[in-house]
Structure 1
Amino acid sequence: MLSSPRLTSGILGYTERKFKDTVSTVGGAFFLKQWGPYNISIWDTAGREQFHGLGSMYCRGAAAVILTYDMTSWQSYVELEDRFLSLTDTANADCIFAIVGNKADLTDSHAQPSDPEGEEENKPARMSVSSSSLQRKQVNREDAMALYARVLHYKGLDEKACLPAESMCFETSAKTGYNVDMLFETMFELVVPSILKKRNEGESSTVDLEAPSTGKSNKAGCCT
């Protein structure tokens, strides 16, 4: 995932219940996510400029790439295309792309945290977030969809034959977890069948990074 550090924290929040292991890397992080009978490999490149040169390595052979921008920063949206799109050249030819806006908690009251169910009676009523306290969204969903179309064009893919932009553009908050689960569950549901198809056709989709102690391990690859 070519992302800001704030989405990295969202990955940790999503995966801490289910990840088998977390391995820190220079310029990013590697995770294994248990999803049904499969282990999904996730590379997080952190997106920082000093690690830009490592991006193509992380994306090599990727079945899916999540490109992330800051919804409150138009500059982050511009840099996402200018600096990071070329790093996807090493991804699989049929790689699935998602365009993700982060920091929705700063622009949308619906992305704010809520009290856990059943605790409302024991806590003071939470004040709703007023519209005046929210920041202006600098990158709209329409902008994300336009970028998705440009990504497909850059990769030489037929837009009509690919997943629609409406399904592959997300607005999330790594801080509150808003839509983070939906993002990864959607990606996994799309990626796993594609990898299984390749496996049945005799192609190897990932490198086995660990030897399972017992039984047979099913692995799927996803560079985010």
Structure 2
Amino acid sequence: LNLSLLEIFVLFPIRLELYLKTLSMSFFLFLAGIDFKIRTIELDGKKIKLQIWDTAGQERFRTITTAYYRGAMGIMLVYDITNEKSFDNIKNWIRNIEEHASSDVERMILGNKCDMNDKRQVSKERGEKLAIDYGIKFLETSAKSSMNVEEAFFTLARDIMTKLNRKMNDSNSSGAGGPVKITENRSKKTSFFRCLLL
């Protein structure tokens, strides 16, 4: 498998600094308030580089981020469980994604700050129902305690790779002129995935 870039957009109300500080290779690019980071993970024995664009879900970035949607392979929509408005905004972001992103982009909804249950305004059940309504996976996370943050990135990356492998297999099986054998050299290859945190 030779991927050039995997793009994941993450609509996030707060920064994932606790997760991203563990990067083995990282750098920050400050462009109009957008943090740009790189995280290398190993997924099913394959090294994957995630490019992460973090706009923290700010409204002023809505027009900027629509330009990035078209190439996205995955998008994370994240709300703050202690902030009802951030949850309500998820539907607006989904409409925006449906208008500008590829129809087969992988999506995931995350309810962040689950460590602050005493200040919760959005129940886990409401988050799950919203995800079911849109056919999207759902997790509750805590950037503070790192609960489920890594799992969320790995889950989305794995779903994207599964979809890409399926597309490659479909493409190979529909080719004319008989069977085609594809040999992969995985030993020295690293896939590159771009992730956008909005």
Q: TM-score, normalised by structure 2?
A: 0.71
Partner in structure 1 of residue 149 of structure 2: 180
Q: Which deviates further from its counterpart, 172-181 or 189-198? A: 189-198
Partner in structure 2 of residue 162 of structure 1: none
Partner in structure 1 of residue 80 of structure 2: 70
Partner in structure 1 of residue 95 of structure 2: 86
Q: CA separation in 2, counterparts of 1:143 and 1:93?
A: 25
Residue 219 in structure 1 maps to residue 188 in structure 2: no
Point out which structure has higher relative CO (alpha carbons under 8 A, 6+ apart). Answer: 2
Q: Deviations over 1:42-80 (max 9, x none)?
A: 322321122222121232221111111110111211122
Paired AA for residue 61 in structure 2: F
Check 1:85–1:10 CA distance in 2 against 1; reply closer, same or farther (3 A cut). Answer: farther
CA contact under 8 A between 1:72 and 1:103: conserved in structure 2?
yes
Q: CA separation in 1, counterparts of 2:155 and 2:49?
A: 16
Matches within 5 A, 1:106-121: 106-107=116-117
Partner-residue secondary structure (3-state), 1:78:
helix
Partner in structure 1 of residue 140 of structure 2: 171
**Percent of aligned positions with the same letter in both sequences?**
27
Check 1:77–1:148 CA distance in 2 against 1; reply closer, same or farther (3 A cut). Answer: same
Q: CA separation in 2, counterparts of 1:28 and 1:51?
A: 9
Partner-residue secondary structure (3-state), 1:25:
coil
Matches within 5 A, 1:119-134: 134=118
Structure with greater strand share of residues: 2
Partner in structure 2 of residue 211 of structure 1: none
Partner-residue secondary structure (3-state), 2:11:
coil
CA contact under 8 A between 1:8 and 1:46: conserved in structure 2?
no
Q: CA separation in 2, counterparts of 1:45 and 1:93?
A: 23
Shift of 1:12: 1.9
Partner in structure 1 of residue 34 of structure 2: 28
Q: CA separation in 2, counterparts of 1:52 and 1:78?
A: 16
Q: CA separation in 1, counterparts of 2:77 and 2:113?
A: 14
Q: Deviations over 1:130-155 (max 9, x none)?
A: xxxx32x2111221122223434xxx
- Within the candidate set 124, 139, 146, 2:129 is matched to 146
Q: Name which one, 1 or 2, has greater alpha-carbon Rg.
A: 1
Q: Deviations over 1:9-52 (max 9, x none)?
A: 24424xx3333444333242233322232322332232112222
Structure with greater helix share of residues: 1
Check 1:92–1:32 CA distance in 2 against 1; reply closer, same or farther (3 A cut). Answer: farther
Q: CA separation in 1, counterparts of 2:26 and 2:161?
A: 18
RMSD over aligned Cα atoms: 2.5
Unaligned runs of 5+ in 1: 108-133, 153-164, 203-214
Q: CA separation in 2, counterparts of 1:199 and 1:31?
A: 28
Check 1:195–1:45 CA distance in 2 against 1; reply closer, same or farther (3 A cut). Answer: farther
Paired AA for residue 106 in structure 2: I
Q: Deviations over 1:151-185 (max 9, x none)?
A: 34xxxxxxxxxxxx6xx211111122122121112
Partner-residue secondary structure (3-state), 1:193:
helix
CA contact under 8 A between 1:27 and 1:54: conserved in structure 2?
no
Check 1:151–1:86 CA distance in 2 against 1; reply closer, same or farther (3 A cut). Answer: same
